[in-house]
Structure 1
């Protein structure tokens, strides 16, 4: 009889903003250690530590939700797209200038 390894399901768990806030509150306000809270909530300690750090750095915009970005991240993404578009336009103009310069000679 051959035993096979169980397949690893790589599906990320998703937690609501309320769950994250309550987990951080458990550590900060109730004095439960990060290690104990992470065991109780079935989380990796680093995940809980990141939630604590995120809430401490920006309480207003912490945990924006599924697929939503903080305003700063949204602006950075918009500017990256604009830079990519401008580089493409620049490259087209360079090629056109080289083409017309070749014909002028």
Structure 2
């Protein structure tokens, strides 16, 4: 059993996909009520199956992830902000490495 006496349940992949589709059409809470599954679980399934939720996605601090239903321009802006944050992190790492190695030459 899981926390608070709630049993750990395993759901088939097809059930999860259908539940995620239902949640996107009627909302997480309504889908959870209809299916008898916690709303948080359905939310996790829906987010995992949303477009752009790939395994290679890296969450960067200060960068909001694109939400389903945004226009193409907003999604492009979000992608560019993510790319900019990554580039800034690269520059910061390189500048610190340069400073570190410059100390050794003096």
Asked whether the two chains share a fold, i.e. TM above 0.5, the reply is: no
Higher relative contact order (CA 8 A, sep 6+): 1
Task: Give 1 or 2 for the bigger CA radius of gyration.
Answer: 1
